[in-house]
Structure 1
């Protein structure tokens, strides 16, 4: 599995049906959270909540915070 980090990329992958899961930081911008939660519910993509943008960044292996990240399979 592979993380694609960022709200634009995550949104695009959910819309294209390529995301298998989405990680969302609890402290991300509420408008971004509301949008991706709605998209994930519509597309039946499970959401995994992270305590903070900092901890989500660490989960994704980057040194900065991340609001959200999509998980995709490595098939492509």
Structure 2
């Protein structure tokens, strides 16, 4: 399922993911387990409120690689 994140219908970053969640444009959210809780907690709360699936990835580095970007990522989302 995480393999879908290298497609065009994805966003990366806390601000973009929160914005998309508030606009009901998100299908699935991916969160790195090693990201700071203060960063990921608001996204987790929004996902639970909106009943969006969360997939946990082991590291921020791995999530960045899955998203095909050159930097680490704490949060990413697959759009509807």
Output one character per residue of 1:18-58: Cα deviation in whole Å (capped at 9) or x when no partner: 00000000111211211111000001110010000000001
Which residue of the partner structure matches residue 30 of structure 1?
Answer: 37
Structure 2 runs not aligned, ≥5 long: 1-6
Structure 1 runs not aligned, ≥5 long: none
Q: How many residues align?
A: 73
TM-score, normalization: structure 2? Answer: 0.86
Match of 2:20 among 10, 13, 25: 13
Which residue of the partner structure matches residue 53 of structure 1?
Answer: 60
Q: Which has the higher helix share?
A: 2
RMSD: 1.0
